[in-house]
Amino acid sequence: MISTLEKEVTFRFLKARKKDGFLNIISIFSFIGISLGVAVLIIVMSVMNGFRTELINKIVGFNSHLTVDPYNSKIKINTVNQSLKRISKNLILSNSGEAIIIKSETSKGILLRGYKSSDFSKLKVFENKLFLGDNKKLSKNDISIGKELSFTLDLNIGDSVTLMSSAGVETIIGNLPKQKTFFVSSIFESGMAEFDNNIAFINLETLEDFSNLDENDRNLEIYLHNPQNIDYQKAIVQDNFPKDFVYSWSDMNRSLFSALKVERNVMFIILSLIIIVAAFNIISGLTILVKNKTREIAILKSIGVLNKSIVKIFFLVGIIIGSSATIFGIFLGITFSIYVEKIRQFLSTIFNISLFPEEIYFLSTMPSEINFFSILIISLCSIFITIIVSIFPALKAAKLDPIKALKYE
């Protein structure tokens, strides 16, 4: 419990006086250092959380959330149990193969995905406003390509292209690769240049005929209502298909997200050093404050103030500086995180530089996602560091001998 006397003395010591000019400078720099440390941590964590979320949305918006790959037998959708039906939004049969796409004198290797015409419109990537063409049409000679691939090959809707399959056909002169002409029926944009430049969609039956595949090779793509909680839902799917190989979008990108997690943790540790360095200024400030307030401390002890009260007074001074700096840092960090994209655009315009190049980060805007749990952790760490560094000067003040302090007064 803090007494009225302890509160009065604490706030008196916090007030600036002309003769304490150097002490005030140290206190101000301590406040600014902790505030900036907290703000920078919140901004960096928000941007990294936003980048991770946007990346997940791009990946799960283009790929299936869970895929069942059969080992031997054909997948049967009619055997799906109620638990799987409850968590799934769409169940789509698909197949895939590789081919070379040829336009005039330009050729490129691509991955082909095959879907039935009725399932084609269910894919989330075709809900994008930037999608061009008919998302309900995928007939036998139609092909849907990505925006980047259309730029690479200079293709528009209605243009024809030639596909050369990796599967061959036997002729009297030997095994020759299959070739087939397709017409571009639509152009999609997933937001990921890697996908848009290397993947194309064609009719499922056409793909199987073109790549020498059959129904036993078909995969089951499962689209979930909530693709975030993937491990629990993967277990449900695996129970439904115990003899087949089940993998998720998380499994396909595990190394990427593991690297992001490690990077986020390392950034948190490194940037926490800013708070620690700033907090050491509190030790300096309180130590000088104890030196400057030697006479006042001696008088307080002479009138019967206990050592524990002296400890509380100087401890509260450090806590108030650290806590107020943390609160201001939270406000600054949240505000910057909310307007980070506008700030980026402003700086890019003023200095004529690209601060977040799309070709490197796959995103056209700088993402930011404020996570209040992260803010809570950062705040607690900052206040904890402040508590630790305030203990030593407070104990030093309590050990002061009043007789020696007042000897020359």
407, burial (CB in 10 Å: exposed 0-12, middle 13-18, buried 19+): exposed
First to last CA, the chain: 33
Asked which of 4-18, 143-157, 186-200 is least confident by mean pLDDT, the reply is 4-18
Over the stretch 220-236, which tens digit does the pLDDT of each residue have? 888 888 877 788 888 88
Give the residue-averaged pLDDT of 57-82.
77
Per-residue pLDDT, 331: 93
pTM of the model: 0.70
Q: Residue 58: its pLDDT value, please? A: 76
Say which residue the tokens 């800013």 belong to.
Answer: 274
The closest alpha carbon to 221, from 340, 357, 96, belongs to 96
What is the dihedral sign for C-alpha 13, 14, 19, 25? positive
CA proximity to 314, closest of 280, 291, 279, 289: 289
Return phi, psi of residue 111, to 5°.
-100, 130
Least confident of 58-67, 126-135, 330-339: 126-135
Q: How confident is the model at residue 32 (pLDDT cuts 50, 70, 90)?
A: confident
Give the confidence band of 269 by pLDDT, cuts at 50, 70, 90.
confident
Asked if pLDDT for residue 100 goes beyond 60, the answer is yes
Average model confidence (pLDDT) for the chain?
79
Handedness of CA 141, 143, 149, 151 (dihedral sign): positive
Average pLDDT over residues 93-101: 87
Helix (H/G/I), strand (E/B), else coil: 356: coil
Helix (H, G, I), strand (E, B) or coil at 355: coil
Where residue 328 falls among pLDDT bands split at 50, 70, 90? Answer: very high
H-helix or E-strand spanning residue 263: helix 254-292
- Check whether 370 has a pLDDT greater than 80: yes
Arithmetic mean of pLDDT, 195-202: 87
Are 302 and 61 a contacting pair, CB within 8 Å? Answer: no
Strands (E), 116-218: 132-133, 142-146, 160-171, 174-188, 199-203
User: What average pLDDT does the segment 179-184 reach?
Assistant: 88
Which comes out higher in pLDDT, residue 256 or 209? 209
With bands split at pLDDT 50, 70 and 90, how would you rate the model's confidence at 339? Answer: confident
For residue 404, pLDDT over 70 is answered with no
| Contact between 155 and 133 (Cβ < 8 Å) | no
Q: Which residue has the higher pLDDT, 331 or 120?
A: 331
| pLDDT at res. 308 | 81
57-67 b/e (C-beta count within 10 Å ≥ 16 → b): ebbbbbbbbbb
Which residues lie closer than 8 Å to 75 by C-beta, 6 or more apart? 68, 93, 218, 219, 220, 241, 244
Which of the four pLDDT bands, split at 50, 70 and 90, describes residue 282? confident
Could you tell me which of 82, 230, 103, 232 has the C-alpha nearest to residue 155? 103
- Tell me if 34 sits within 8 A of 326, measured CB to CB: yes
Whether residue 146 contacts residue 160, with contact meaning beta carbons closer than 8 Å, is answered with no
Nearest to 329 by CA among 14, 27, 40: 40
Q: Are 79 and 220 in contact (CB under 8 A)?
A: no
Does the pLDDT value for residue 321 go beyond 70?
yes
Q: What is the CA radius of gyration of the chain?
A: 33
Is the pLDDT score of 171 beyond 70? no
Residue 68 scores a pLDDT above 80 = yes
Does residue 26 register a pLDDT over 80?
no
- Residue 332 confidence (pLDDT): 92
Q: How far is CA 396 from CA 93, 288, 298, in A?
A: 74, 11, 13
Q: From the centroid of its chain, how far is CA 285?
A: 38
pLDDT at site 96: 87
* pLDDT score of 357 more than 90: no
pLDDT band for position 170 (50/70/90)?
A: low
